[in-house]
A = this chain, B = another copy of it.
Amino acid sequence: MISNSTTTKQFHFEILYQSKRSRARVGRIHTPHGIIDTPNFVGVGTNGSMKTLHNHDVSKSGLQLMFCNTYHFMVQPGTELVKEAGGLHRFIQRHQPIITDSGGFQVFSLAYSHVAKELKGQGGKKHASSVLKITEEGVLFRSYRDGKKIFLSPETSVQAQKDLGADIIIPLDELLPFHVDETKLKASFARTHRWELRSLYTHLKHPQNQAMFAVIHGGADLELRRQSCEILTKESFDGYAIGGSLGSDTDELVATVAGTTPHLPTEMPVHLLGIGDLPSVNRCIPHGIDTFDSSYPTKIARHGMILTKEGPLKLTRQIHANEFRPLEDDCTCQTCQHYTRAYLHHLFKANEPSAASLATQHNLSFMIRLMSQIRTEILCGLI
């Protein structure tokens, strides 16, 4: 175990209130680029832009943490170029906290033909990257963009994330498909932890004021989840992310989370990877999840699905054609401050690109307000 006491001066997690009813808590993650109030929603800006939005508008919306994907930046424009630009914050002009992943999820998604949701949306052929070789050392894959061979290992992933310079980074892990036999599962489980430790040790050589969150694995097997926690909590990670296969429905997801968080130190922040639908958010917070990243709220917006306190609203339905009121009466987002459902319905019907961006702005604002409301409910002893 290498101490990181000198490495994360600017990073710490402060718990303001611990619920007496559940593991839910209200806290603050302090980072070099500012505070993240928790529990909170983490917006997905894969390529350095939340789809359809501008970072200067996103900042105004109050989003405190943005998730960028290292895989995408390795392929385009290359992490060296981002470093040359002065790092990700400067390159994409986001002056608040950023988290990057390791690139592993995307690469393994492709390897196992489990193409990640965010890739699916962009058409199959373009993203037909091929994984050339997986060894103990790492993964060799071919860029879908220019055919260039890229080697992803714990060391190169961390180096890429050093180039990017996000506030929170993630060690390389191995993603397994759902149905594998126990031998393969155990071998993957062991390798993923070796890779995470190699990632951590690489990180700690040049911490650069970055924090690293370990990724807890073990699939739906709660004993493996416990073992994963046991291995990783011995190391000097700055927080934990629950990753890997989380089950096939919300019940399985919640059971996995509920069986995992008790094995994590309460004083550390816990992130849930890739989950942001409202039922999961509501059910995982009592189990001590502090942050959720998901492209779900922004993706459904582009298809005209609007989040409201009364439930989701399909804006393209004819019923909204002459509703001369905002998406939500008390919403303070730019969309609700200026436009009616009727106008937004019309923009969707007329295939205007501004429809998607206005709807996205609202759904993002909804998630930010929802999380603020949840923090209040925890403080009021309701969760």
A→B interface (CB under 8 Å): 47-49, 51-56, 72, 76-77, 81, 84-86, 91-93, 122, 145, 321-322, 324, 334, 337-340, 342-343, 345-347, 349-354, 356-358
Contact = CB atoms under 8 A, between A and B. Distances in A.
Contacts of A54: 334, 338, 354, 357-358
Nearest to A353: B52
Contacts of A340: 85, 91
A122 B349 CA distance: 13
A81 B347 contact: no
B347 A49 contact: yes
Contact of A81 (B85, B92, B321, B339): B321
Contacts of A321: 77, 81
Nearest to A75: B350
Contacts of A358: 54
- Copies of this chain assembled into the complex: 2
Nearest to A349: B76
A342 B49 contact: no
Contact of A77 (B337, B346, B357): B346
Given A49-B347, A346-B48, A346-B76, A356 B354 contact: no
Given A54-B357, A93-B338, 7 more contacts: A54-B334, A54-B354, A56-B338, A76-B349, A84-B322, A85-B343, A86-B324
Contacts of A51: 352-354
A123 to B, nearest CB: 10
A51 B349 CA distance: 14
A334 B356 CA distance: 20
A76 B316 CA distance: 13
24 contacts: A47-B350, A47-B352, A49-B352, A51-B352, A51-B353, A52-B353, A54-B338, A54-B354, A54-B357, A54-B358, A55-B338, A56-B337, A72-B350, A76-B349, A77-B321, A77-B345, A81-B322, A85-B322, A91-B342, A93-B339, A145-B349, A353-B356, A353-B357, A357-B357
Contacts of A122: 351
A350 B46 CA distance: 10
A77 B348 CA distance: 11
A323 B84 CA distance: 10
B85 A52 contact: no
Contact of A342 (B81, B145, B337, B347): B81
